[in-house]
Amino acid sequence: MMSVDRLTVKIFADGADRVSMLELSTRPYIKGLTTNPTLMRKAGIANYRDFAKDILSEITTKPVCFEVLADDFAGMERQALEIASWGENVYVKVPITNTRGESCRAVVGRLAARQVKLNVTAIMTLGQVQEVLSALSSTTAAYVSIFAGRIADTGVDPVPLMTKAVAMLRERPNTQLIWASARELLNLLQADAAGCHAITLPGDILGKLSLLGCDLTDYSLDTVRMLYEDGRAAGFFL
């Protein structure tokens, strides 16, 4: 049976449920946590600041990523500085562009110059990776999040792109690559093989970690039993 302990890639839990985030943060194999406005909206979070500060009062040693909400560059910068002030373990998520497709490179550069730890997010091309690297300070810790799952949603294999991105970051020890928007447990192994530093996994995929490397014959039998029991429980008959 394969174990996550044998993998090099770090697992970050992705979600916005307080109870789940706090519980996952205690697990040794969870190396960090991420969230975003979409997840928080789905979780029914009413106050962004209060939620974030509550989480950070409990999780103080592992990286936690919170995203700016503004769409204008001045607003992004102001919010990033506030978010960064919430804790030493905070990484501020800044999108690669605003909603008009305008590059956030200058904002990223100014924040990096002020030693704000960043997670530049929603990246999907190598050109965008290069753009981020040209803006980041070589001395400031940062994550570059490529949405590999969304790339795969378009029918494109993200593995070659992720492998090239790893090579681009090789001379930047303070900048780490995240395989973001994972879709299945296989992505964990793909990210590890590609040399990614981290991968974000939502709760439904984290729940499948026990299946990692399981015997497929046994899994087949479990599936047959599930289908049989569900048919019985539904009261189906012919």
The pLDDT value given to residue 5:
86
Q: Which of 68, 177, 76 is nearest to 126 (CA)?
A: 177
The pLDDT value given to residue 206:
97
Whether residue 193 contacts residue 187, with contact meaning beta carbons closer than 8 Å, is answered with no
Q: Which of 165, 141, 22 is nearest to 91 (CA)?
A: 141
Residue 1, pLDDT > 80, answer: no
pLDDT digits (tens, 9 = 90+) for 96-108: 999 999 999 999 9
Query: What pTM was estimated for this model as a whole?
Result: 0.95
The CATH class for the domain spanning 4-210 reads alpha beta
Other Cβ atoms within 10 Å of 92 Cβ, number:
25
